[in-house]
């Protein structure tokens, strides 16, 4: 991250109903909010050297831990 985009803005975009695409540890993910403190993280493309689960339910705390390492964040409106 270049330091201009903050976690508060990221969190607000999730609350507003955006679907967020991002790269994390060489894998591309889709993230969206399901309900309070419940987010769906879906694997879109995978790296065979770093296998990950296809779909995971994550908490706000986990998203906050991952945020500094997210790259190439993109948005899509609606769920």
**pLDDT tens string 9-43:** 999 999 999 999 999 988 899 999 999 999 999 99
* Strands 27-35 and 38-45, bridge-based pairing: antiparallel
Could you tell me which residues come within 8 angstroms of residue 77 by beta carbon, excluding any fewer than 6 positions away? 17, 18, 19
Instruction: State how far the Cα of 50 lies from the Cα of 17, in Å rounded to an integer.
Output: 30
Report residue 48's pLDDT band, with 50, 70 and 90 as the boundaries.
confident
Instruction: State how far the Cα of 15 lies from the Cα of 22, in Å rounded to an integer.
Output: 17
Average pLDDT along the chain: 89
pLDDT given at position 3: 63
Taking a C-beta distance cutoff of 8 angstroms, is the pair 21, 28 a contact? yes
pLDDT given at position 79: 52
Mean pLDDT across 49-71 = 92
The pTM of this model reads 0.84
pLDDT given at position 51: 79
């Amino acid at each position: 991250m270049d330091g201009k985009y903050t976690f508060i803005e990221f969190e607000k975009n999730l609350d507003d109903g955006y679907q967020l695409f991002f790269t994390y540890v060489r894998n591309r993910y889709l993230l969206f909010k399901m309900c309070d403190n419940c987010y769906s993280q879906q694997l879109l493309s995978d790296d065979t050297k770093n296998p990950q689960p296809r779909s995971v339910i994550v908490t706000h705390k986990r998203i906050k831990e991952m945020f500094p390492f997210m790259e190439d964040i993109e948005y899509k409106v609606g769920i």
